[in-house]
Structure 1
Amino acid sequence: MKEEQKNFVIFAVLAAFILFGFPLVSGYFFPTANPPVTKIEGGKTTVLPKPQADPAADTGAAVRNRSEVIAESPRVRIDTPTLSGSINLKGARIDDLVLKQYDETIAKNSPPIRLLSPAGSANAYFAGFGWRSSSVAAPDADTVWRATGDVLSPGRPITLDADNGQGQRFRIELSIDEDYMFTARQTVANGGQAPIAVTPYGYLSRRGASTDVDQWVAHVGPIAVRDGSAVYRDYDEVAEEATRYPTTGGWAGFTDQYWLTALVPDQQTPVELQLRSGANGQFQADYAQRDAVTIAPGTTATQTARFFAGAKEVRLIDRYEGQLGIVQFDKAIDWGWFRIIEKPIFYYLDWLFRLVGNFGVAIILLTLTIRLLLFPIAQKQFASMASMRAIQPKLKALQEKHKEDKPKLQQEMMALYKTEKVNPLAGCLPMLLQIPIMFALYKVLILTIEMRHQPFVAWIKDLSAPDPLTPLNLFGLLAFTPPSFIAIGVVPILLGISMYFQFKLNPAPMDEVQKQVFAIMPWMLMFVMAPFAVGLQVYWITSNVLTMAQQWWLYRQHPALKTAPAK
C-alpha cells in the first residue's frame, strides 16, 4: 500500500510539472504557435492587429516620415508581380520595398508587408553596392546617380551611372526577376592615365533588431554562410562583437520568421563576409572582395552580385540555390537536424494543398498517408502486445520466484522472451516513429510561410495559430477574451476526447497506478497542446481517429488482447 502511495505522489508531481512547468520550459525550446490572427467575441470573429510589426511595417508615424524622406531624393520605381517600391538615386540604395502578395493580417483592407525603408524613417532598412579605393574617389552615400530609365521591372533593367571627375566612371546595372532576386553588375571604367585599384562591396543596413522572436527551433537574426556551413547569430552577439568570415561561395544577411534579405557575392570570387553593429541600434551585413582589382588605363572591370529581398518560399529558395548556384541558400530556413524528414513532409504537404486547395484537408491526407505507411509496423505491434499478454502469468511467476534476486530475474525474463519469441519493445516502435514525424510537422507549421494565414474550416482562419474558439466565453457569445493560458479551444478539447477514447480501447493495465496515469493523461495533454498550432492538433486528432479504427480491426485479428490473461 505504501508503494502505491509513493507511486501516486510521484505521478502527481510529474503531472504538476507537465501542467505548470512544461509551458515555461517549452516557451523557448518549443514555442507553441504563431500569435492568434482572430478572436471570437459576441458571436463574431474579429481580426486581430499584429502585436508586433513586421520589418519596416507601416505605422502612423512611419508613413509620414517615410513619405517625406522618399520625396527628398530622385528615384527609380520598382514594379514586379511580387514587389513594388523604389531605388534611391542618392547613394544608389534599394531602400523602399513592399511585398505585394503578403499582407500584415487576414483583414481585407490590411496593408501589405513593407520590408525596406529609407534612412531617416522609422525602421530604416536598405541595401546598396559600391567600391572602396585608396587611389581614386569612389561614389559615396551623397553621390546622386544618373539612371537610364524610370522603372525597374522584369526584362527592363536600368543602369546607374556616376563620374568622379577624375576620369573614372562607375556603373551599376540592376535587373530583377519576377520574384525577389536583384542582380547588380558593377563596372568601373578607368579613363585616367594611371592604373587604379578598387574593391567592390555590398552592404545591408538595418535599424534595430527584428520584432520576430528568435527561437531554439527557428532562428531569427543575422546569418552568414561561409565555407559550406551556416552561422546563426543573434543581435546581442553581433552588438558585442563583429565577426568576419573569409570565404569563396556564401552569403550574408538578416532573416525574420518569414522574410529574408541576403547579399550574395559572386560565388567564385574570394570575399570577406562581415556581421557587425553600429551606433543607434544599427546592424549591418556586408561583403567585400578579398583582393583589390587593378584596372589599367583605358580598360574596365566588372563584378556581379545579387540581392534577395522577399518571402522565404521553400520552393523558390531551393530553386535559387540550384539554378544560381548560391551555396546553401536553403539554410535561410532553419530546418535544423530533422531537415531530412521536414523537407519531404513539407513538399508532400504542399503538393496535397495544391491538389485539394485546403491546408487542413492536406494535413488530414498527410496523416492518412503516414498511418498507411506505419500500418505494417502497427500489425507487428499488436502481435507483440498479444504475445506479451499471453505470457503475463509466466512473468508474474518469475517475479515471485526471483523477487529477491533482480539480476537473476532479468536473466530469466530475457530467456523467456527469447523462448516465446516476444520483443517487449516492439509495442513502442510506432510511437517512437511518430515522434520525429510530429516534430517535423511542428517545425513545418512554424517555419514555412506557405502555412501562414492558411484557413481550415469555419472559425479556424490560421492553421499555424492556436484555436481562438473556447467554451470559457460560451464560444464567443460573451464579449470577453479569456487569458491565453486558460483559453482551451474547441480543437484541443476534441484532441483530449479522441485521446481518451483511444486509451479506452487499449488493454487495461494491470497496475493500479498505471491505470490512474492513463485515466488522466488525455486531459493533461489537452492542456499542454492547447497553445500549439491548430494544424498540429488536426494531425493528432486525425491520427487518433485512424488509430482507433486500426485498433478495432487489429483486435479482431488478435482477440487475445481483449481477454483477461490466464492465471
Structure 2
Amino acid sequence: MFDIPISIAAALVGGLADALDPMAGGLATALAIVLFTAGVRLALVPLAVSAAKGERARARLLPKVQALQNKHAKDPHRLQREMAALYKAEGATPAAGCLPMAAQIPFFMVMYRLFTSAAVAGHQNLLLAHTLLAAPLGQNWIGVLGGGLLAPPSLVFLGLFALLAVVAVVTSRRVTAEGPVGAVARLMPFGTVAVAAFVPLAAGLYLLTSGAWTAAERAVLRRGAAAAA
C-alpha cells in the first residue's frame, strides 16, 4: 500500500539531503525532512483555510447549539437531527477543523515507514544510516535509552520532546472551541510528545515541523480573519 509513496518520499528526502549536504553537512537529512514536511503542509493550506472558516462558523453558531442542547436534552435523537439541520442550513460542519490533521496521517505514516524499512524499492535503505547530531534518524528514544538517559543520542530526543511541548502549549492556548470538544482539542497537541518517544527520530521531526506550522498557520489565519472583520 505504501510502497510507491515510500519510494517517492525516499527520492525527495534523499535528493534534498544531497542538495543540502555541501551547506548543512551532518544536518542535511534532518533539514530535508523539515523541508519535506513544510512542503506537505503547504499543499494542505486550502484545507487549513477551510478548517478555520469552519471554526469561525461553529463559534458563531455556539449560542444556537447551546439552546438546542437545553431544549432537547432529554431527546438525543431529536437533538442530533436538529444539530445536523442547523449546520446544514449554515453551510458548516462540526468536522471541518479535523481535515488538516486527518489529511496528514498518510504522510506521517510514509515518513514512519521510510525510516523503519530496511529496504526501499528493492534497495538497501541508506537513509537509516543518517543521524541528527548523535541520534540515528531511524531509531526511537526507547531504542537509544540503553546508552543512558543523558547520553548524546538520548539528549537529542529530550531536546525534541522539549520543543514539542513548547509547540503544544502554544497550539493549545490558541484553541477557541468550548466544552468537551475544546478540552479534547487543547489536550491533543500534547499527545505528540508521547508519540515521539516511540517513533523514529525522523517521524518526530515531522511532528515538530508540522506542529510548529500549525501554530504559525492558525495565528496568521486568525489575524487575517480579524482584519477582514
TM score, norm. by length of structure 2: 0.80
Does the residue aligned with 1:362 lie in a helix, a strand or coil?
helix
1:348 partner letter: L
The equivalent residue for 2:16 is: 352
- Following superposition of structure 1 onto structure 2, how do residues 393-472 of structure 1 map, counting pairs within 5 Å? 393-447=63-117, 448=119, 449-456=125-132, 458-460=133-135, 462-467=136-141, 468=144
1:372 partner letter: L
Conserved in 2, the CA contact under 8 Å of 1:342 and 1:440? yes
Give 1:553's match in structure 2, choosing from 181, 203, 220: 220
How big is the shift at 1:374? 0.4
Return closer, same or farther for 1:380/1:493 CA change in 2, 3 Å cut-off: same
Task: Map Cα deviations across residues 530-550 of structure 1 (whole Å, 9 max, x no partner).
Answer: 132111111111111111111
Conserved in 2, the CA contact under 8 Å of 1:367 and 1:543? yes
- Following superposition of structure 1 onto structure 2, how do residues 105-184 of structure 1 map, counting pairs within 5 Å? none
- Following superposition of structure 1 onto structure 2, how do residues 265-284 of structure 1 map, counting pairs within 5 Å? none
**Whole-angstrom distance in 2 between the partners of 1:385 and 1:369:** 24
Structure 1: any 5+ residue segments left out of the alignment?
A: 1-336, 561-567
How big is the shift at 1:455? 2.1
Does the residue aligned with 1:465 lie in a helix, a strand or coil?
coil
How big is the shift at 1:525? 3.9
Return closer, same or farther for 1:402/1:518 CA change in 2, 3 Å cut-off: closer
**Whole-angstrom distance in 2 between the partners of 1:415 and 1:519:** 27
Conserved in 1, the CA contact under 8 Å of 2:59 and 2:177? no
Task: Map Cα deviations across residues 459-493 of structure 1 (whole Å, 9 max, x no partner).
Answer: 33x21113558xx85x449xxx9xx9xx9632233
How big is the shift at 1:406? 2.0
Does the residue aligned with 2:179 lie in a helix, a strand or coil?
coil
How big is the shift at 1:385? 0.7
Conserved in 2, the CA contact under 8 Å of 1:497 and 1:522? no
Question: Is 1:536 aligned to 2:203, yes or no?
Answer: yes
Does the residue aligned with 2:211 lie in a helix, a strand or coil?
helix
- Following superposition of structure 1 onto structure 2, how do residues 243-262 of structure 1 map, counting pairs within 5 Å? none
- Following superposition of structure 1 onto structure 2, how do residues 230-241 of structure 1 map, counting pairs within 5 Å? none
Conserved in 1, the CA contact under 8 Å of 2:52 and 2:97? yes
Greater percentage in helix: 2
- Following superposition of structure 1 onto structure 2, how do residues 221-370 of structure 1 map, counting pairs within 5 Å? 337-357=1-21, 358-370=28-40
Conserved in 1, the CA contact under 8 Å of 2:175 and 2:182? no
Give 1:382's match in structure 2, choosing from 35, 52, 71: 52
How big is the shift at 1:441? 0.8
Task: Map Cα deviations across residues 181-238 of structure 1 (whole Å, 9 max, x no partner).
Answer: xxxxxxxxxxxxxxxxxxxxxxxxxxxxxxxxxxxxxxxxxxxxxxxxxxxxxxxxxx
How big is the shift at 1:446? 1.0
Conserved in 2, the CA contact under 8 Å of 1:488 and 1:527? no
Structure 2: any 5+ residue segments left out of the alignment?
A: 22-27, 120-124
The equivalent residue for 1:260 is: none
Question: Is 1:496 aligned to 2:171, yes or no?
Answer: no
How big is the shift at 1:519? 5.6
Greater percentage in strand: 1
1:558 partner letter: A
**RCO higher in 1 or 2 (8 Å CA, sep ≥ 6)?**
2
1:344 partner letter: I
Between Structure 1 and Structure 2, how many residues are aligned?
A: 210
**Whole-angstrom distance in 1 between the partners of 2:168 and 2:12:** 26
Q: Please identify the structure whose Cα radius of gyration is greater.
A: 1
Return closer, same or farther for 1:539/1:555 CA change in 2, 3 Å cut-off: same
**Whole-angstrom distance in 1 between the partners of 2:17 and 2:47:** 28
- Following superposition of structure 1 onto structure 2, how do residues 40-59 of structure 1 map, counting pairs within 5 Å? none
Does the residue aligned with 2:115 lie in a helix, a strand or coil?
helix
Indicate the percent of aligned positions where both proteins have the same amino acid: 29
Return closer, same or farther for 1:519/1:340 CA change in 2, 3 Å cut-off: same
Question: Is 1:527 aligned to 2:194, yes or no?
Answer: yes
